[in-house]
Amino acid sequence: MALRPALTPVVAALPTMVPFVGPEAQERERGRAFRARLGANESGFGPAPSVIAAMRDAAPEMWKYCDPDSFELRRAFAAHVGVKSTNVVVGEGIDGLLGLVVHMMVSEGTPVVTSLGAYPTFNFHVAAVGGRLVTVPYENDRESLDGLLDAVRRENAPVVYLSNPDNPMGTWWEAHELVRFMDALPETTMLLLDEAYIELGPKSAMTPIDVSRPNVIWFRTFSKAYGLAGIRCGYAVGEEGFIRDCEKIRNHYGVNKMAQVAGMAALEDQVYLAEVTTKVAAGRRRIAEIARDNRLSPIESATNFVTIDCKADGVFAQKVLRELIERDVFVRKPMAPVLDRCVRVSVGLDHELDIFAEELPRALRAAAGS
Amino acid sequence: MALRPALTPVVAALPTMVPFVGPEAQERERGRAFRARLGANESGFGPAPSVIAAMRDAAPEMWKYCDPDSFELRRAFAAHVGVKSTNVVVGEGIDGLLGLVVHMMVSEGTPVVTSLGAYPTFNFHVAAVGGRLVTVPYENDRESLDGLLDAVRRENAPVVYLSNPDNPMGTWWEAHELVRFMDALPETTMLLLDEAYIELGPKSAMTPIDVSRPNVIWFRTFSKAYGLAGIRCGYAVGEEGFIRDCEKIRNHYGVNKMAQVAGMAALEDQVYLAEVTTKVAAGRRRIAEIARDNRLSPIESATNFVTIDCKADGVFAQKVLRELIERDVFVRKPMAPVLDRCVRVSVGLDHELDIFAEELPRALRAAAGS
């Protein structure tokens, strides 16, 4: 074989993998569209009409580069959470921001602590720089604060990842419990607190943002409650020195101009947000009901999805998943041991949940029979 | 001082810098808006009406995550340049794609060859991973093919960056000269060929895309001729194995859904593209005329800007730049030795070029007198 340009040793050793297979790829493979899109924790309620209007108005302006400082956006986000603009960095969704922080803090062999079965895109970023993932099993379907703390101490890890509320289980910790966790964390360990779903759960789960802590970063996004998954806009909040350090390697033109417009408009429409959170709560109740009607156990959720215990092993839940997909219902499932007994169903529109209600018993029968 | 989480040694050693200060930041500092936006090589002609319509139609769909495979977009780009989808990867503009390839191929100490004064965002990405930049001076305001080749051989560099047509000088190499360069390149050196401006120059500068070469990547963007700088959509074309390797660390949701829609629509409207390239050529002639009217020397350009030799040193050109900005004309200038005797003026709308024509003589007089 001819010589060719070499990849870095870290990248050369990586498998070709993707954190998620998109529903579009599944539709192409199946040769037909899903009837219910309930797998990616998107918001079928969509962005606010005010946000749609703002995007439409901005379309002719897309010839301009975005403001690389995201000045107005940062000011708006800062005001929203009660900090200064210098405590805020914007990014291409939480995905992009997690990648940024990982590239700032993790290099070959750096131990990084997360939960076994937590957000795969974070793990993907860690792998990209050759970090060493240390995983801690969930406990009673929640990420284990004690377990994470033990692992951090044992490994002297500079980074620990935690989502609250959690994905893929939908469970959460109350703010006071998380504050205790933060207090106990070594000061040389950075907590990446992924709050992608925070607007959808109880207020009591919302940890007060305290930028005097130099070792906690809060991550927020417009992908979930705000209904803008496709626009890639998120922000991170933290201590000023760390936020300034982000400038060293940040992709300054990464958040596109349409995302800046949409994020700004979305934040301004808190009335719409309140309507959506109410609808999401109703959707969660409906999914839980459907689960119970089929003698399954819904896990209480603070997110826009409900993870359903199928009351058997991972093999059975995988069959349920496959049967739902066969019936044109796009859902996903946790893959880690113990969690893998579940399927995960996002809140969707009423007619989509009707389809789920209709197809779940059939899928269960087929899974049991196969 | 209290202990805090550590950055990687590479990132810790980096200065806090940005490749570009946006015009918005300058406007905030000055307390007033620019009257002519001629500094960032954007297209004031804007995106095609068909593209604006497509973006408007798509706005309500932004609740969905983008297709992480960009399946249709890749197919369209591939058809456009006559390769297979498996030869194409999409990214957040050329910036994002350069970052991707740098992270794949460059680690601490890796020598990377570029021209002294070439695209700073590429250098920024190389610095982020601790690569060692080896810079080659321009020759007669063109990137030096012989010089780059010598440096590559001397340093045994796995990566060399070249833009054709060039930014910031606007000059170019004919395709047959570049093919000779490619042929001479060691097979272990990857050429990153940045063709951001390729649609705007002579056809003879367009190197035939040949994906049987495993050591050349062609980069294209919608930021320039297509008038979509704000949308962050670009693509890279290369040998299938390398493109597949991109999946190992690529941000799969990085190109947002609006960018996918806009890129697709833009590619379809080649009539509009032809109109814009005609207008850009007229704008270049106008800028050159204005320069000559002021006894300056415009450099022949294959891009959407004209770099103007101010016929003195870098200090003088810097004064001219400052005086133009004082007069609300946003322009930029090359900073590297020799090139720094110039200012760079993007093609804009007629009324903006009128303002430039009016203000340039005043700026020159003020610069000469200061």
Return the pLDDT at B296: 98
Q: Do A227 and B14 touch (CB under 8 A)?
A: no
Return the pLDDT at A366: 98
pLDDT tens digit sequence for A34-50: 999 999 999 999 999 99
What percentage of residues in chain B have a pLDDT greater than 70?
A: 99
pLDDT tens digit sequence for A79-94: 999 999 999 999 999 9
One DSSP character per residue, B32-66 reads: S--SEE-SS---TT-S-HHHHHHHHHHGGGGGSPP
| Closest CA in chain A for residue B65 | A230
Rounded Cα distance, B171 and B354, in Å = 25
Rounded Cα distance, B336 and B350, in Å = 30
pLDDT tens digit sequence for B110-154: 999 999 999 999 999 999 999 999 999 999 999 999 999 999 999
The ipTM, to two decimals, is: 0.96
Residues of A in contact with B190 (CB under 8 A): 5
A254 in contact with chain B, both atoms CB, cutoff 8 A: yes
Q: Do B56 and A61 touch (CB under 8 A)?
A: no
Q: Do A229 and B63 touch (CB under 8 A)?
A: yes
- Mean of pLDDT values over B210-235: 97
Q: Which burial class, exposed, middle or buried, applies to A13 when counting CB atoms under 10 A from its CB (0-12, 13-18, 19+)?
A: exposed
Q: Please tell me which residue, B190 or A18, carries the higher pLDDT value.
A: B190
Rounded Cα distance, B251 and A92, in Å = 10
Q: Is the pLDDT of residue A118 over 80?
A: yes
Q: Is the pLDDT of residue B16 over 90?
A: no
Return the pLDDT at B20: 81
One DSSP character per residue, B124-181 reads: HHHHHTT-EEEEE--BTTB--HHHHHHHHHHHT-SEEEEESS-TTT-----HHHHHHH
A230 in contact with chain B, both atoms CB, cutoff 8 A: yes
- Mean of pLDDT values over B96-104: 98
Q: Is the pLDDT of residue B100 over 70?
A: yes
Q: Is the pLDDT of residue A22 over 70?
A: yes
pLDDT tens digit sequence for B29-42: 999 999 999 999 99
Read off the amino acid at residue B283: G
Distance between the two ends of chain B, CA-based, in angstroms? 47
A2 in contact with chain B, both atoms CB, cutoff 8 A: yes
Return the pLDDT at A3: 86
Helices (H), B294-349: 314-326
pLDDT tens digit sequence for A234-262: 999 999 999 999 999 999 999 999 999 99
Return the pLDDT at A8: 96
Q: Is the pLDDT of residue A370 over 90?
A: no
- Mean of pLDDT values over A316-343: 97
Rounded Cα distance, B282 and B262, in Å = 26
DSSP designation for A139: B
Among the residue ranges A114-123, B16-25, B97-106, B348-357, the one predicted with the least confidence is B16-25
**Tokens representing residue B320 in the block:** 């001219």
Contact assessment for residue B190 and residue B216, using Cβ atoms and an 8 Å cutoff: yes
pLDDT tens digit sequence for A188-236: 999 999 999 999 999 999 999 999 999 999 999 999 999 999 999 999 9
B20 in contact with chain A, both atoms CB, cutoff 8 A: yes
Rounded Cα distance, A135 and A18, in Å = 19
Q: Chain-wide mean pLDDT for chain B?
A: 97
Confidence of residue A16 (pLDDT cuts 50, 70, 90): confident
Q: Chain-wide mean pLDDT for chain A?
A: 97
A131 in contact with chain B, both atoms CB, cutoff 8 A: no
Q: Is the pLDDT of residue A1 over 90?
A: no
Rounded Cα distance, B312 and B292, in Å = 15
| Closest CA in chain B for residue A47 | B63
